[in-house]
Amino acid sequence: MAIGLKAQEGTLKNDPLKIEPAPLSTSPTTTRPVGTDTLKIKNNGIETTILYYAEDSIITKTATNVTYLYGNAYIEYGDIKLDAAQIIIDRNQNELTAKGVQDSTGSWIGLPVFQDKGGVYETRAIRYNFATNRAKITGVVTKQDEGYVSGEEIKKNQDGSAYIKGGKFIPCADLLATTYIKADKIKVIPGDKIITGPAQLYIGDIPTIFALPFAFFPDVKSDAQSGILFPKYGEERVRGIFLREGGYFFGNNEYIRTAVTGDYYSKGSYGLNVRSTYKKRYKYSGSVDLRFSKSKTPAIDENPLNSKDFWVSISHRPESRSKTRFSASVNAGTSSYNNNNISTENFQNTIRSEFRSNLSLTGSFANDRFSYGLSARHSQNIQTNILDVSLPEFSLNMTRLVPFAQSKQEVLKRLSLSWAFSTSNRITNLVRPNSAGFDIANSADQADTIAVTFAKLPELLSNAQNGARHSIPISTSFPFLKNFNISPSINLQELWYLEELDYTYLENQNAVRIDTLKGFSRATTYGASVGISTQLYGTKDFKANSKIESIRHTLVPNLSFSYRPDFGQEKYGYYKNVQVDTTSTGEPVHQFLSKYNGFVYGSPTLGESAAIGFSLNNKVEMKVRSDTAKSEKVSILENLSFSTSYNFLADSFNLSDYNLTARTSLFKKKIDVSAGLVIDPYTYVTTNDGERDLIRKVDVIALTQGKGLGRISSGRFSLSTNLNSKASTNKSSSSMGGGPGSVGAIDGMGMGNNFGNETDEGYGTMNSGEANKQRRVPQYFDDPNAYIDITVPWNIMFSYNYSFSQGLFNNEFTSTTRQSIKMSGNMEISPKWQLTFNTGYDIQLKEFTQSSLGVYRDLGCWELRGNWIPFGRFTSYSIDIQIKASALRDLKLSRRRSFFDN
């Protein structure tokens, strides 16, 4: 039994059961300057010393062997500590008596606070026997795990157990709560249980019909309790009357908690759920959630249900920093599970169409020179029924080596190389259609999926892709002309596969047959590049009387050259020149086809390349003078970049697209802005074939024709912010006459818990504190309910996204545009009211995205939770009113309705 009460002057009036709320502490006694004054008493024949102290006076009557302590008295006797206004120690009876005193107003002060191994008690009076270690306490309140037990009188035994007369159990941290269970007799066994005689539930200080001949409350931590989970009840139009989530909770184990629950519907549907959480401190933690449901309704229904669904969720998180770490996140199940089992509490999980899983084992060895990773990945789209599994994926990496680190030559000193190896096996149930541009004899014309069943396992394995890849990057760098840095590099790569493709043209079908040849096959590729970069600065200083101290513009130009040979040449053997068609005149049409086409790591690149690349990054910053000696740096433009490349060996269209991106933040990084453009640098001309206009792209740079940079092919713009409230501090509250009933009170409570700081500039606040105080008319100071202070905590996340793309399709320029707004957040409209929301608007479709609104109300010992999805496919609502204490968690009222009920 965790007990902790602190005495407070004036907390008890004449009525010992009328207790005002006071701050609670597990150590109520304060440090006293215990002097050399001691008393000797005999406990079971053993003489023991009592240390004592009193501020006012200490009187010992030798004739009666009684000592009187007056004024903030304190004694310490072994594990016993006692504070009180008056303490009397009777050595003849081995007893002490402590009580408070009344001041001139009749209020009690210096009430006894008693502490021993059993806990801490705030009382009106106490009598304690040193010989028997028993105590009789009048007017007591003791704190439990999630509430209080109070009583008129308590008798405390040597073993720490206590009997309470005229008691009540308050299931929350409010001593003035009007919800409680009243019982004339209560027994408390610390750390074990609380047992009562006849007990009755009171709500609003009014007795209810809920009464029991006896009651039992476990006095252990809530997460360590085992017991029955009472089901939720309700009705669905489709599946009928239901009892959900009823079962049993196993919580006695220190490391693992498990709940086994079931669902039942009157029309025949049912479900079974097993959820387990585990944690080993400083090692790992996680959870396992297994769910099965049978959705079944009568065949005479308009849309009968008949499906078996399951869902698996596994999470494992390592907490140690060892060299070997294992983590897991698994979300998988049947595609119809979420449609048949809607959850308003987990709304995001309901509307998701794709689920991913990941298992990974990572580590290092050889003094961290090598690191490895073993993983399994899963992706499932419940709308398209496409499943992708990567099992296993393995990687082995060698840390960068610098073999000539001691060399005096800068080029050799910075020379480094590393090695990376990875292998993958990917299984998918998607059978992709023919997209080669010619007829394939043994290929499907349309996409299809393979059913994920044990019977289809051989077909799924035959559709798998696997392979391995080696990468060896070698690089160095050295300065050039002091202000330039040159970075040459070579990259070697080798691909390993266990099969390859062979192509045969079938003249009678005018199609190509693709055969898969089993056996080890490898491909080696390489390339080289060299880059040169520098940084340029430009600074503009301002006058001393200007708020702006200086503006600096940083430019980072990069120039690179790369070369890659044509791996389509016959000497490499990676490509085959295959006839794929016959023209109307009988001439054969040939095409280079890779024997690794569509493989997991792709094919060596076709065509020789010798390209020069250019990029330019810009950054603009400003220094602003502040009241302190140190200037403040403000970012005006975080990044503005431009990039393109030119391939000297390409047959045509050597210049690639221009890419422009920009990013910055506004108002002290409260608003993030980013944008991007892709520009096609070539010219488009329109010709007429006698019937219609034809638009085609020609190999002429638009800039040379006076047509600007070219045609914009795509663009994007996004704006996002996360606004938070900033209200007055406790200091400002006190200046307004703070405390209970002060100005700014909501629901009769003072604004003791203020948020933010008025000295801040206040961006994102609903009001600015000081200015609002000046607007308040005087009568508001006398009537705290006359207004609502809107300086309350809130948080809003807002984003706006716009994107477009345009291109030539069927001899016409077509464009697509996407534009949407998303907003979510929470707001505490009073200390006891909270709202949450999640919504969005698709401007292009002119409709709202799936939205939800949540509400929470603190009702003292009770709480109200509600969630509403006002429109869309998952229209539903839920309302729960229940007691906070877990021991009485099932004492609640619930109302739920989902789209099933429409």
Per-residue model confidence as pLDDT tens digits over 669-726: 888 999 999 999 999 888 887 777 788 888 899 988 888 889 999 999 999 998 877 6
The model's confidence at residue 189, banded by pLDDT at 50, 70 and 90, is: confident
- Helix, strand, or coil here: 347? helix
Mean pLDDT of the chain: 78
Question: Are the C-beta atoms of 722 and 668 separated by less than 8 Å?
Answer: no
User: Cα torsion for 180, 185, 188, 193, to the nearest 10°?
Assistant: -70
Q: Left, alpha or beta for 734 (phi > 0: left; psi -120 to 50: alpha)? A: alpha
What is the C-alpha to C-alpha distance for residues 294 and 573, in angstroms, rounded to an integer?
56
Between 187-196, 731-740, 787-796, 870-879, the lowest mean confidence (pLDDT) is in 731-740
489/97 Cα distance (integer angstroms): 88
Q: Which residues pair with 405 in a beta bridge?
A: none
Task: Return the C-alpha torsion angle 745, 750, 752, 755, nearest 10.
Answer: -10
Cα→Cα distances 791→1, 730, 731, 751, Å:
40, 13, 15, 10
Whether the predicted pLDDT of 636 surpasses 70: yes
pLDDT band at 408 (very low <50, low <70, confident <90, very high): confident
Rounded to whole angstroms, the Cα distance separating 810 from 694 reads 10
Lowest mean pLDDT among 119-123, 184-188, 372-376, 548-552: 119-123
Give the pLDDT band (50/70/90) at residue 459. confident
What's the pLDDT tens digit per position in 817-828? Answer: 999 999 988 888
Within 427-525, residue ranges assigned H as helices are: 457-462
Confidence band for 781, pLDDT divided at 50, 70 and 90: very low
Distant-in-sequence, close-in-space partners of 29: CB < 8 Å, separation ≥ 6: 74, 81, 82, 83, 113, 115
* Least confident interval from 169-178, 179-188, 547-556, 768-777: 768-777
Dihedral sign for Cα atoms in the order 179, 185, 187, 188 = positive
In this predicted structure, what is the pLDDT of residue 37?
Answer: 54
Q: How far apart are the first and last CA of the chain?
A: 49
Q: Is the pLDDT of residue 117 over 80?
A: no
pLDDT value of position 659: 95
**Secondary structure E strands in 648-785:** 658-666, 671-680, 682-688, 693-701, 711-724
673-689: string of b/e by CB count within 10 Å (b at 16+)?
bbbbbbbbbbbbeeeee
* 792 pLDDT tier (thresholds 50, 70, 90): low
519 backbone φψ class: left, alpha, beta (φ>0; ψ -120 to 50): left
- Distance between CA atoms of 513 and 516, rounded to whole angstroms? 10
179: helix, strand or coil: coil
Please determine, for residue 45, whether its predicted confidence score (pLDDT) is greater than 50.
no
Q: Amino acid letter at 587?
A: E
Cα torsion for 819, 825, 829, 830, to the nearest 10°?
180
Range 811-815, long-range pairs (CB < 8 A, 24+ positions)? 811/692, 811/693, 811/694, 811/695, 812/695, 813/695
Q: Residue 269 half-sphere exposure, CB side, CA atoms within 13 Å? A: 27
Instruction: Give the per-residue pLDDT at 118.
Output: 61
Query: Of 880, 899, 735, 748, whose CA–CA distance to 245 is shortest?
Result: 880
Stretch among 30-34, 577-581, 643-647 having the lowest mean pLDDT: 30-34
CA distance 274 to 265: 18
Instruction: Pick 876 or 726 by higher pLDDT.
Output: 876
- In single-letter form, the type of residue at position 715 comes to G
The single-letter DSSP state of residue 183 is: E
- Measured distance CA(32)–CA(446) in Å, rounded: 87
Model confidence band, residue 253 (pLDDT cutoffs 50, 70, 90): confident
Which one is predicted more confidently, 249 or 40? 249
Kindly list the distances between the CA atom of residue 890 and the CA atoms of 44, 429, 567, 876, 877, in Å, as whole numbers in the listed order. 49, 45, 71, 23, 20
For residue 19, what pLDDT is reported? 30
Q: What is the pLDDT of residue 616?
A: 95
Distances (CA, A) of 892 to 199, 217, 231, 233, 844: 18, 17, 11, 11, 44
Question: Is the sign of the CA dihedral 218, 222, 225, 229 positive or negative?
Answer: positive
Pairing of strands 794-809, 575-582: unpaired
pLDDT, tens digit, 9 for 90 and up, residues 348-400: 555 566 788 888 999 999 888 999 999 988 887 777 778 888 888 999 999 99
Q: How far is CA 678 from CA 339, 535, 699, 771, in A?
A: 40, 25, 18, 48
Specify the amino acid at residue 563: Y
Percent of the chain with pLDDT over 90: 22
The whole-angstrom separation of Cα 538 and Cα 622 is 12
- Please tell me the pTM assigned to this model: 0.61
Q: Tell me what pLDDT residue 220 has.
A: 55
Report d(CA 69, CA 600) in Å as an integer.
Answer: 87
- Any residues with CB less than 8 A from the CB of 783 and at least 6 apart, and which? none
Name the residue with tokens 């500039």: 761
What is the pLDDT at residue 351? Answer: 56
* Range of 353-362, 381-390, 644-653, 879-888 with top mean pLDDT: 644-653
Calpha distance 58→720 (Å, rounded): 70
For residue 887, give the 3-state DSSP assignment: helix
Bond from prior residue into 392 cis (ω within 30 degrees of 0): yes
| pLDDT class of 491 with cuts at 50, 70, 90 | very high
Q: What is the pLDDT of residue 334?
A: 78
The band of 446, judged by pLDDT with boundaries at 50, 70 and 90, is low
Q: Cα separation of 284 and 318, whole Å?
A: 4
Contact between 660 and 642 under an 8 Å Cβ cutoff? The reply is yes
CA distances from 203 to 241, 376, 377, 692 (A): 29, 54, 53, 84
> What local confidence, expressed as pLDDT, does residue 218 receive?
64
DSSP state of 232: E
3 state SS of 351? helix
Do residues 784 and 767 touch, judged by C-beta distance below 8 A? no
Closest CA to 315 of 280, 277, 341: 277
- Using alpha carbons only, how large is the chain's radius of gyration in Å? 39
Assess whether pLDDT exceeds 60 at residue 740. Answer: no
Sole residue written with tokens 């007795």: 207
